[in-house]
Each structure stands twice: as C-alpha cells, then as structure tokens.
Amino acid sequence: MTDWDASRYHRVSDPQFDWGQRVIARLKPVAGERILDLGCGTGRLTQEIRRVALGGPASVVGLDRSGSMLAVARAAVPHAGDTGSIPLVHADGAALPFRSAFDAVFSAATLHWIHDHQAVFESVAVALDDGAGGGRFVAQCGGRGNLQRMLEHTAQLQALETYREYFSDWRDPWNFAGPEETTQRLHAAGFHEGEAWLEEAPVHLDTAEKYADFVACVCIRHHLERLPLPLREHFTQDLTALAARDAQPYTLDYWRLNIAARKARG
C-alpha cells in the first residue's frame, strides 16, 4: 500500500481541520496537560491543541503511522529544542508505545483507517494515566453511513469491464463503525462514561476540479493505487461525472462518529 500524498492532503484537508477544531473544543485542553494526538497527520491540529489550551500551553505529542504525513508535520511544527516544540512519533494507533503517559488522548479523522477498533481502544486505555478522575479519550472519525453515496458510485465503476479485473479481491480499507458497537468496545477496553454518537457533516466541493482533487487524495487513494497509471485519472473523472449527476452535485455525504470517554480508575 502506498503512503499518503501528504503535501496534497495538507492543502485540501480543510474539512478535516474544521471538524478537528470542534473536537478540540470538546477536549478542552488546559495548561500542563499531557495530550497525545493519535493520527496527527501533518500536524495542523496538533499545534492547535497546544495553542488553545486554557491557561497556557499543553504538553502535546503527535503520533502517526504515515511517514509522509510526519515528514510534512516535521517541517511545520516547532523542532525539538525550540520554544513550543512538539515531539512526533512514528507508530501504529492500535499498538501505542506508551503506558500511563497521558492525561488525554485526542484523535480526529483517523480511527476509521484502523480495522481493529477494540485494539485501538485497549491501546489508548493503556496509554492513559488513571490518576484523579481517569484519563480522557476524545475523538472523531468516519462513522456508519460515511460517504455512502460516493461509495455506491465507486462500486458501480469497479464492476465495469474497464476496471473489474483490478478489484477482484477488493477489501474495504476502512471501518465505519456505529455508536452502539463503539460504546460496547469502549466499556470492554476499560472506559467508563463512554459515549458515542453520529453527526452528519456533508462537504460541498464547488467545482468538478475541486471534487476530483479532493477525492483522489482523501477518499479513493486505495482504489487508485490498484489501477495502472493510465487508468487512475479515468477512474477519478468517471467518479466525478457520476457525482455531477447527484441531487446535490459534488457533495460528499460525510458522517462523523464522535467519542467521549474516561478511563476507569485503577
């Protein structure tokens, strides 16, 4: 599997940044808190967490399994030793290399890229300190029903003779979970006061060009990497043509799964 085009993602990911800012508002970081940004990407939200912490900067660590995302983040966030430096860690969110190290774990637009949510929640619980009140887990990712209309279009294209052979063993690379199973997994992982809920968050792209640019980078990169180079642009343009005929053209039907939980005290 190829890595992200992180520079392109940094340019087009304003919707993810906007959603993430609302998750930070739920996090309510405060000065001195130790916070992990799980799936920090290019570091935009990681820096925002540190900046908006009440009473002064929080101590934030960014973590991502994408080397290309971290390369862009390293160019954007303060370096180690600088004022306001933010450590960046290359690791898997389902196997965090921390134990009782954080007061809070934050995650935005990441968890749906990890199939095993139970492993993620258990790893987050281990990484959280269980001190006074228990560590907090505040997150958002793609949830049940996410991008359903666009994925119906991609399935239609995958079945065409032009593309069919490249998708014979296709497996969805995401896990768009619902709130019920998410709440059960949180409790099984050792969280109490675990809550999960869905939020509709459509994204409208103004033009065919903006739609094609966004989906090629963010939504269908796993589809495209299966295709030979000459067919990748054709697939993107065919998908864009289908989106143009939607009731709301060039609109992505995003659904966000919100998570708010606290680790049970040991």
The full set of domains in the chain, from first to last, is 6-145+174-202+253-263 (3.40.50.150)
Which tens digit of pLDDT belongs to each residue from 60-73? Answer: 999 999 999 999 99
Q: What pLDDT is stored for residue 153 in this prediction?
A: 98
Of all residues in the chain, the percent with pLDDT exceeding 90 is 89
pLDDT digits (tens, 9 = 90+) for 182-215: 999 999 999 988 899 999 999 999 999 999 999 9
% of the chain residues with pLDDT over 70: 96
- Give CA–CA dist 195/113, Å, rounded: 20
pLDDT category of residue 1 using cuts at 50, 70 and 90: low
d(CA 249, CA 233) in angstroms, rounded, equals 19
